[in-house]
Structure 1
Amino acid sequence: MYLYLIFLIGFALFIVLFSLIFRQYTAGFKPKNNQISYEASADLVGEKIRKISSRPFLFGLEDNLVSDEDFYFDDINFYAIDNKQQRKVVFPLTDIIELSKTSITITNHRVWQVIINGADNQKIVFKFTHNYTLWNKDFVKFYKKIAQINPAAIKSKWSLWTM
């Protein structure tokens, strides 16, 4: 009887300690872009946009690590679409000043970040995991497009082994 009680108390303390350590090391990792003005996203149906992000699964902990939006691109724009609130924001690809990978990996997907030069030279940061698969190579197309438009924006090399 006492052994079960000791086990339960120890497990509860482990959960509390793990959550405190996780919050300490992930505080400030997820960007808060309060200066973005979103608009309704209903008019994207006819556009040919390619999705470059996926939503990893880590029992809810991924919400502290990646942005809430899904990310798309076409030949001239980068789209951040928040499907929960049905809103979007559009940036020209020429405004992207950095594309780099972070040190965080979630379920074998590296977390990448895009830094955009917004209005009044404010930096807007989005973090996401790519959706690269054997059949979907849109993230690599996005990477090559940014390398073509602004080679200085690429801060991390892409390869199949370090994705």
Structure 2
Amino acid sequence: MNTEDYYYDSASLYQQREGVTLCKVPLENIIRIKVSGARVSNRRVWLVCYVTRPYKTEKAFRFLNNYTLFNRDFAGFLAAVRAANPAANVQEMTLGRV
């Protein structure tokens, strides 16, 4: 796993390390979000695939979601991606996939 943090707003997903933005991905460029088979500390690892412009090269991030009873940002992120790119293949989040 990497040591980066991931944040999103209504337009983009940001990959940051120590407060410095390493990568900014428009939500409309995300084409797939799915759970991987890997687990870390009994939590699922999620895979977020996106395309870069102008060559449409596919890249991916792997990270643990931050979804808890008191923090539902990951569910909001999934909804924001669906809104920005209705064609994206976004896997549903269930109790078994948290």
The TM-score range, normalised by the shorter chain, is 0.7 to 0.9
Counterpart position of 1:92: 26
Q: Aligned residues, how many?
A: 97
Superimposed CA distance per residue, residues 2-31 of structure 1 (whole angstroms, 9 cap, x where no aligned partner)? xxxxxxxxxxxxxxxxxxxxxxxxxxxxxx
TM-score (structure 2 length as normaliser): 0.86
- CA distance in 2 between counterparts of 1:118 and 1:90 reads 10
Contact 2:37 2:44 in 1 (8 A): yes
- CA distance in 1 between counterparts of 2:21 and 2:87 reads 30
Counterpart position of 1:153: 88
- Identical amino acids, percent of aligned pairs: 30
Residue 142 (structure 1) aligned to one of 66, 73, 77:
77
Describe the SS at the equivalent of 1:121. coil
Describe the SS at the equivalent of 2:94. coil
Deviation at 1:80, TM superposition (A): 0.6
Residue 133 (structure 1) aligned to one of 68, 71, 74:
68
Deviation at 1:155, TM superposition (A): 4.2
Deviation at 1:144, TM superposition (A): 1.2
Describe the SS at the equivalent of 1:145. helix
- CA distance in 1 between counterparts of 2:86 and 2:42 reads 27
Deviation at 1:102, TM superposition (A): 0.2
Contact 1:67 1:126 in 2 (8 A): no
Counterpart position of 1:106: 40
- Letter of the structure 2 residue corresponding to residue 105 of structure 1: R
TM-score (structure 1 length as normaliser): 0.54
Deviation at 1:157, TM superposition (A): 1.9
Describe the SS at the equivalent of 1:136. coil
- CA distance in 1 between counterparts of 2:48 and 2:3 reads 14
- Letter of the structure 2 residue corresponding to residue 113 of structure 1: L
Larger radius of gyration: 1
Identify if the C-alpha distance between structure 1 residues 104 and 140 changes in structure 2 by more than 3 Å, giving closer, same or farther.
same
Residues 1-163 of structure 1: pairs in structure 2 closer than 5 A: 66-83=1-18, 86-119=20-53, 120-163=55-98
Q: CA RMSD in A?
A: 1.8
